[in-house]
Structures are given as structure tokens and as C-alpha cells.
Amino acid sequence: MPTPIGLAAGFDKDCNVLRSLLNLGFGFVSGGTITLASRPGNPKPRVIRLPNEKALINSMGFPGRGLEPAIKRLQRTQGLKERILVSIAGTIEDEIFDCFHRVQSLAAGVELNISSPNTAGLRIFHETGRLRGLIEGLAAEKTVPLFVKLPPWSRGDADRREILKLAETAIDAGVDGLIVANTRPIESNQLKVGRGGLSGEPLFENTELMIADVQAMTNGDIGIIACGGISTSKQVWKLLASGASAIQLYTSFIYEGPGLPARLNKGLVRLMDAAGIASIDDISGEPPNIK
């Protein structure tokens, strides 16, 4: 990728504007999450803005037109496919396999989303046996890298070991990378369904801790994409220094506007120049203290 700064899945659910998003300065973008059949998503209201925290709570539930329209749009972006990931999901294996078979030739990699807190039925793949069977089946037929998007966890919480076990299972079964992590489950009576996923600035500190956890577990043997609360070049630096290969953002793009990816790119280059390094592979420690 020309830059490690990417756009997370969920923004362009039907792969309508991937080319235009890349032109804003993203190194890569994620289309989807795509499901086999069209879905209306959850009832509204399903998005809450928290401007004082630069955060969102959403309960979207994978609204989209389904696989076939997305395929047609992806076919029109083949000149840029090396910078496009496609996120897929389903509640049964056959749905996921059908999506995987159709999209993998049209993208640089495929993200398997098993962790959206807003979609009923996904938690079945949090059972390690079910997850292993799914990933082994996909890995046997993959021609591009396969990523799994994990649920979030907190250091010291009881679910930390459970989710790291999911990560270990996914790696053993044949994934090439992990996306760390999805939105944080949260309840809210402002949402029609009463619960959703928190994203944005409040998540960054935990994202950094999660990247350190996964890096320690994998020893750098797989790709790690950091996702959650990222809005500044110094935060990008910190996550790359902690073991991430790349980062994804979404909520900060909404609050900061279309100029954000270009600003992050320029800021990261300034930090690297100040540190006297020419490659993101050499990023380590705390970012230089520049204005």
C-alpha cells in the first residue's frame, strides 16, 4: 500500500465510491460489509452522534443491497483492486462461502467480520470450533490474504482471554491477518434496538493495549491492522510502533472531514523525518515531539 492509513468497513457498504475514497489519500479502503442477500438493517433510530467525545454509537445491522450489486461495482474498480479490501459476513457458513468465492478475485484481501455487535447471529462464530471450521474451509480456497475482524476486549476483563483465544484459533486455522478491533458493545435507549457499538476517540487507549496483546501473542508472524479511535498522526505512529502493520479509521473521518487522510499522511512523514527514518518498518518508541 502507498500509505498504511486505510478506511474501515462500514462507510461504503455497497462499494459505491471506493475509487473516490482512495483519491482522498487513503492507502487502502474496505468495501462492505457485504452479505449474500440484501438487508434492511436494524430499525431507526440507529446512529447517535456524541460530538463532545468525537464518538458515535451505531446499531446499523449490515444494511446493504447484497452481493450481486457489490460485485458489479467491484468489477469497475479492477485497476485499483490492489488497494481494496472487501468485508464479508453471514450467519451461516454457506452464505459466507458464497460471498468469499465471488469477491476474492476482485480485491487485494478479504475481511471476515464475525464481530459486529449490531447483527444477530454473528456470535455463533465466537465458538472456537465453529470458527476454526469456517476459517479452515476458507483458507483452503483462498487466493488472497484473509483477515478476521475481532471483537474488542479490555486488559484485565474476563473476556480478554476468550477473545485472544479466538485470535489464536483464527491464526492456527490459516488467516493471514487480524483487524483489531470492532466497535465496543454498549446499551442505549436512544437506539430503537436498545444497544449498539461505540466508536471514535474514547476507544484509542484500548486499541493500543489490544495491539500490544496481539503482537505479544503472534511475535509479528501475521499482519495486524489497528482500528479504533484513531485521529492523529502521533496515534498512527504509536500503533505502528506497538506492532500494527496498518491502521483503519472511520469515525474520525466523519468528524474531521475528507481532508483527514491527507493530513495524517503528511503528519506521519513529518514525524518520520524528525526521527530520521525512511520506512514505517523502522517506527518504534514514542513519536517525536514536534508541533
- Asked whether 130 and 136 are in contact (CB, 8 A), the reply is no
- Asked whether 151 and 117 are in contact (CB, 8 A), the reply is yes
Given the residues 30, 115, 116, 199, select the one marked as catalytic: 116
SS3 121: coil
Residue 245: active-site member: no
CA dist 206 and 190 (Å) reads 25
CA dist 80 and 269 (Å) reads 24
From the CA atom positions of the chain, what is the Rg in Å? 18
CA dist 200 and 184 (Å) reads 10
Chain mean position to CA 201: 15
Taking CA atoms, 121 is separated from 126, 158, 248, in Å, by 10, 22, 25
Taking CA atoms, 6 is separated from 50, 197, 246, in Å, by 23, 20, 7
Show the DSSP H helices in the chain as ranges: 18-22, 67-75, 93-103, 128-139, 159-173, 204-218, 233-242, 251-256, 260-275
In this structure, the strands spanning 5-12 and 246-249 are parallel
**Residue positions annotated with a catalytic role:** 116
